[in-house]
């Protein structure tokens, strides 16, 4: 699926170029429009059986221990892997309350205001992570998802209670990191990321993302010119 994701983007850009138009997968191309996402639907399978579906219940969901533990792990490590879900400065412009992009780490049944949305039933039961933007690298997103969920299974973590209602208004629920700078700090200081990916890999990506942040900090933007040119 990661291969298909990348091929689709590249193909669309090349076809657009042949038509003398442009395509972008920025997470937030224009402030007046909603952002562009890359929601990830995931389930685990054992041969021809969905390992998430079973005779236990979690709220209204018929599921297995594997489902609960995987969901809990995916949620627990969401902050630490935010740089993989939202890899650019622009990514964080997408996380606006009421925009259908999630701002808090909660789960719910078929609720598009939650960061983690459980959908389907039976063989189609799956978890949707609504945090990643269209600008994500799918290989890194799947790395984060599987590492997090499998850690939840290994540790038999339990998810929080299912959220009912508008998650945007849930002041007691933890927010996702709202800037690249905050996300870098979470990733850099994550013992789990370093144990799972290795020190060299984490240090490499921390350097990459810090370079991105430094480049943005040094830039003079159109917003600054429009706001300050005449008034100062």
Q: What domains appear along the chain, each with residue ranges and CATH number? A: 2-18+25-176 (3.30.590.10)
pLDDT at 97 (0 to 100): 93
SS3 128: strand
pLDDT per position as a tens digit, 132-152: 999 999 999 999 999 999 999
pLDDT in tens, 157-197: 999 999 999 999 999 999 999 999 999 999 999 999 999 99
pLDDT at res. 215: 98
pLDDT of residue 170: 95
| Residue ranges in the chain modelled with pLDDT below 50 | none
pLDDT at residue 229 in the model: 97
pLDDT at residue 181, rounded to an integer? 98
Report how far residue 105's alpha carbon sits from residue 49's, in angstroms, rounded to the nearest whole number. Answer: 28
Q: Among 66, 70, 151, which Cα is nearest to 107's? A: 70
Burial 208-225 (b: 16+ CB within 10 A, else e): ebeebbeeeeeeeeeeee
pLDDT at 119: 97
Q: Are strands 116-119 and 107-109 parallel, antiparallel or unpaired?
A: parallel
């Amino acid at each position: 699926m990661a291969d298909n994701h990348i091929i689709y983007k590249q193909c669309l850009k090349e076809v657009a170029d042949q038509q003398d138009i442009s395509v972008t997968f920025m997470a937030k191309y224009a402030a007046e429009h909603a952002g562009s996402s890359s929601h990830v639907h995931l389930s685990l399978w054992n041969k021809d059986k969905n390992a998430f579906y079973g005779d236990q219940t979690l709220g209204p969901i018929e599921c297995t221990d594997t489902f609960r533990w995987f969901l809990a792990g995916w949620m627990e490590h969401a902050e630490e892997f935010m740089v993989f879900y939202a890899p650019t400065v622009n990514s964080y412009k997408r996380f606006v309350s009421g925009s259908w992009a999630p701002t808090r780490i909660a789960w719910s049944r078929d609720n598009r205001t939650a960061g983690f949305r459980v959908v389907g039933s039976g063989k189609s039961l799956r978890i949707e992570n609504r945090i990643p933007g269209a600008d994500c690298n799918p290989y890194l997103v799947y790395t984060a998802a599987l590492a997090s969920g499998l850690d939840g299974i290994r540790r038999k973590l339990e998810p929080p209670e299912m959220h009912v209602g508008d998650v945007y208004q849930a002041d007691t629920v933890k927010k996702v990191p709202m800037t690249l700078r905050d996300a870098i700090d979470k990733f850099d200081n994550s013992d789990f990321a370093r144990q799972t990916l290795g020190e060299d890999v984490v240090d490499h990506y921390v350097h990459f993302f810090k370079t991105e942040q430094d480049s943005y900090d040094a830039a003079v933007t159109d917003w600054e010119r429009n706001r300050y040119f005449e008034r100062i």
